[in-house]
Amino acid sequence: MQVVLPLPGNEPMAASLAGALGAPLGGLETRRFPDGESYVRLLSDVAGREVILVCTLAAPDEQFLRLVFAARTARELGAASVTLVAPYLAYMRQDKRFQSGEAVTSSHFADLISKEVDRLITVDPHLHRHKALAEIYRIPAVALHAAPLLADWIKCEVERPIIIGPDIESEQWVSDVAGRAGAPYVVLQKERHGDRSVEVAVSDLNTWRDRQPVLIDDIVSSGRTMIEASQGLIAQGLKRPVCLAVHALFVEDAFTRLSELAQRIVSTDCVPHPSNLISVGRLIAEALRRET
Ligand code: R5P
């Protein structure tokens, strides 16, 4: 028997998973004490059950302690197992010590999560220098892929698309989406100079001028990657792009700035955002059923 418990902000995804699984949607009460510490209380009976904690990790520093407290309390109260469903998995991009003294947070975060839950289910984690979650996670960690969902959306919504990846890292999902959508693809060259500073070199795309560019990236954070790529496409006389993201972090003014360039911005609901149009709920529910 399962019970689905949402961490704050994850109620819609948890409700959709509970519905798809036919499992009860449990409750978790959380609040901040005046000094900022977290209060956590499980409102559901978890004894003997598989507890599914739903917690996308777009704000990991804010969520992490509450997640740990919830997972530990579930165990203390007799949960048979604790599964973390984190549609967006944080701390995957600092996967190397680029400068001396830097923390390789992808590995440290993986170690912390591995100590707290029995298994992890996530969607399109940013695997670049780590080729698989198993390299850093010590628990069963399932990486699901949104590519089929993105491809289906493109097939329904975009006429004569040309799929564009903004950097070499994006080739893995861009080629997959393009193949499924039956569309050509190109990958641009990106150089990152800082957190909010990137340069994207756009090769000659003249042959694709009559096509609708669809820019795809796994994560949009500061938005600089998508913004620079969009500007480069428009400067070459291509149509304003449709921008598609798996994880819509859109920090600060990223969404407003990209909206000025894009024809449309669409994302999956891995991270709740007004641009969410593609649901990963069924994908995750199927994985939960399969892996149980
Ligand atoms: C990293 O290479 C990722 O695939 C994204 O391109 C990156 O995280 C986007 O970040 P930002 O929106 O801050 O440019």
User: Contact, 247 vs 270, CB < 8 A?
Assistant: yes
Dihedral sign for Cα atoms in the order 162, 168, 172, 173 = negative
Task: Please answer whether residues 146 and 270 qualify as being in contact, where contact means their C-beta atoms are separated by less than 8 angstroms.
Answer: yes
Ligand 1 center to residue 18 CA distance, Å?
A: 32
Give the E-state strand segments of 16-80 in sequence order: 28-32, 38-42, 50-54
* Helix (H) or strand (E) segment spanning residue 8: none
Question: What is the structure's pLDDT at 268?
Answer: 98
Q: Is the CB of 224 under 6 A from ligand 1?
A: yes
Q: Look at ligand 1, atom 7, and give the residue with the nearest C-alpha.
A: 219
Low-confidence ranges of the chain (pLDDT < 50): none
Residue 291's pLDDT is: 72
Fold of 2-145+279-291: Rossmann fold (3.40.50)
Predicted pLDDT of residue 292 = 67
Q: Is the CB of 230 within 6 Å of ligand 1? A: no
200-251 pLDDT, tens digit each:
999 899 999 999 999 999 999 999 999 999 999 999 999 999 999 999 999 9
Average pLDDT of the residues of the chain: 97
Determine the distance separating the centroid of ligand 1 and the alpha carbon of 221, expressed in angstroms. 6
Nearest CA to ligand 1 atom 10: 221
Count of Cβ atoms closer than 10 Å to residue 80 Cβ: 15
Binding site membership of 228 for ligand 1 (Cβ less than 6 Å): no
Query: Hey, which CATH number is domain 147-269, 3.40.50.2020, 3.40.50.150, 3.90.1150.170, 3.30.70.20?
Result: 3.40.50.2020
Q: Is the CB of 14 under 6 A from ligand 1?
A: no
CA of 151 to the centre of ligand 1 (A): 20
> How much distance in Å is there from the Cα of 105 to the middle of ligand 1?
16
Same fold, 2-145+279-291 and 147-269: yes
Domain ranges of the chain: 2-145+279-291, 147-269
Ligand 1 pocket member 249 (CB < 6 A)? no
Instruction: Supply φ then ψ for residue 58, to 5 degrees.
Output: -70, -25
